[in-house]
Amino acid sequence: MKKLILVVLTLIMIITAWSYLKIEGIHFDNEADIEKLILTGSSTVAPLAAEIGKRFESLNPNVRVDVQTGGSSRGVNDARAGLADIGMASRALKDSEADLHSYTIALDGISIIVNEANPVTSLTQQQIIDIYTGEITNWKAVGGNDRPITVVNKAEGHSTLELFLHHFGLQNTQVKPHVVIGDNQQGIKTVAGNPDAIGYVSVGSAEYEASHGVSIKLLPLQNIAASVKNLRNRTFPLSRPLNLVTKNEPSGMIKTFIEFARSEQVNDIIAAQYFVPVAP
Amino acid sequence: MTSSQRNTLSLSRPDKKLAALLRLCALVSAAVVLLIMLFLIDESRPLLDHLQLSRFFTDRSWHPVQGLYNLTPMLSATLFSTAGALLLALPLGIASALFSRFYAPPTLAAWYRRLIELLAGIPSVVYGFWGLTTVAPWVARLHPPGVSLLTAILILALMILPTVALTVDAALAALPVSHYRGAAALGLSRWGMISGVALPAARAGIASGSMLAAGRAMGETMAVLMVAGNVVQHPHSLFDSVRTLTANIALEMAYAMGDHRAALFASGLALMLMVLALVGAAELFKWKSAHD
């Protein structure tokens, strides 16, 4: 019995030691020939930048693109401090950041959606705020059927939620949701399956699904229709640019990468993540 | 007879080797469980270091971005959905096992069992998708918003039903034939034999089957995430939207950073402790029924 316990303990110790040891990857590449491009910042831009980076690497075998997340502010700070070659920010630069250079690679917008069967065709800013804070709980109050409203909100931490709250000047603790969703698809399915639901999702995915027969309706915001077209001409109010930020005027490989990320060569990657490309 | 006695008392050489190998595998499995616990504690430590443990139970709500970390609504949601699903799936699963074992003609029983096995093989996301597009609108007609504790219980019950049916079926099949012969010799009816002999004798198998099912219900993520509604609140009725611990992690992990991320690992730790408590309770039940 004692022997058994001893064996158990030794084994556990060995395995624990293993897991805590960081085994360094072995590099077969000739380090001198490899140019490394470091991107840090926004968790919204990071998945997109990673995909663009993969395609860039396949076209330029001597380049490694390293993408790390940490929020837009980290992206801006790292670019300024020279910790990253390129910062990623899912917002426009502030006045205090005017010394940096920013390049928009894609646009992101949020549309309020309701079920197609819902007779309501538009809502004012105040009405949307009242619905989301639980002041208005029946569609009758905004010109719809006499039915209780199902409020669909996004889960904490999602950038869509942050953008939505910021636009309407809300705190998440004020929002009184009936359903909380994760990704855009789940939001669209929820609203399509419930004639009394209201939600908000990325404009790109909502427009795609609505045009493919899913029973949802995109509501205009401040009388401007929610569409990819209005995102691209920058008139839709609930939107933001996804930017790459650099300290100096980009040159060399950094310049090549930014030009590549803004070119139509990556439009399919951008569209696949429901953002709107800037290249024609 | 003599040879079998010698085998059970002192192991033959190949048996000894096998025993050593099995012991090693068992140890590795145990070590993996311990490692998972260590990992969870390690990842949630950044938060636990500066947050009182009681905050997980006394905070106003779960809004980790604003520094509020109440886990109790998700603990209750996990418990209620698991208990509700078990309550539905146990009688149905046992009935299904009794049907295929004692009432169905052999050919039908074989096909029926295959069908149940197929049901166990359907990926959970398919159940979730069906729940979201079919069951939830149906529940919404009774009471909006449709995605609710009730929908989660219905979907979970369907998902764990094959687990219960198959383990109970296996437990009944493992009973010695002499039990049935004895029961027949006493002139018991078919139901008398089932209720008086088969079910009591298979009690341990049924109990471990329900534990397996409860574990699956508790750990199920994707389907529940799609049909439960995910609002963090204590449910006041079956039609309230709830969020389970697993759904919480899946919903927020992708974008969580810093304390928020650590809080999600803490909720994973809470889930692990709940499963441990469940297994502990099952062991206690087994021990008690063995000493009755």
For range B33-41, the mean pLDDT: 94
What's the rounded Cα separation, in Å, for the pair A126 and A131?
Answer: 9
Across all residues in chain A, what is the average pLDDT? Answer: 88
- Comparing CB atoms, the residue among B136, B229, B260 nearest residue A193 is B136
The closest alpha carbon to A206, from A224, A225, A184, A186, belongs to A184
Evaluate if residue B18 carries a pLDDT over 50.
Answer: yes
What's the rounded Cα separation, in Å, for the pair A20 and B72?
Answer: 32
Best mutation target among A48, A116, A179 (most B Cβ atoms within 10 Å) is A179
pLDDT digits (tens, 9 = 90+) for A24-42: 444 444 555 788 999 998 8
- pLDDT bucket at A128, cuts 50 / 70 / 90: very high
Evaluate if residue B123 carries a pLDDT over 70.
Answer: yes
Are A148 and A138 in contact, with CB atoms under 8 Å apart? yes
Backbone angles phi, psi at B215, to 5 degrees: -60, -40
The two structure tokens encoding residue A265: 């060569």
Evaluate if residue A122 carries a pLDDT over 60.
Answer: yes
| The pLDDT value given to residue B5 | 46
Count A/B contacts: CB-CB distance under 8 Å.
108
| The pLDDT value given to residue B8 | 55
For range A117-131, the mean pLDDT: 95
Evaluate if residue B276 carries a pLDDT over 60.
Answer: yes
pLDDT digits (tens, 9 = 90+) for B183-215: 989 999 999 999 999 999 998 888 888 988 999
Q: Within an 8 Å CB–CB cutoff, is residue B73 touching chain A?
A: no
The two structure tokens encoding residue B241: 């939207």
The closest alpha carbon to A197, from A221, A178, A224, belongs to A178
Interface of A to B at Cβ within 8 Å reads: 4, 7-8, 11-12, 15-16, 19, 43, 69-71, 147-148, 150, 155-159, 171-173, 177-182, 186, 189-190, 193-194, 196-197
Chain A residue with Cα closest to B144:
A150
| The pLDDT value given to residue A91 | 85
Evaluate if residue B1 carries a pLDDT over 80.
Answer: no
**A112 CB neighbour count, 10 Å cutoff:** 23
pTM of the model: 0.80
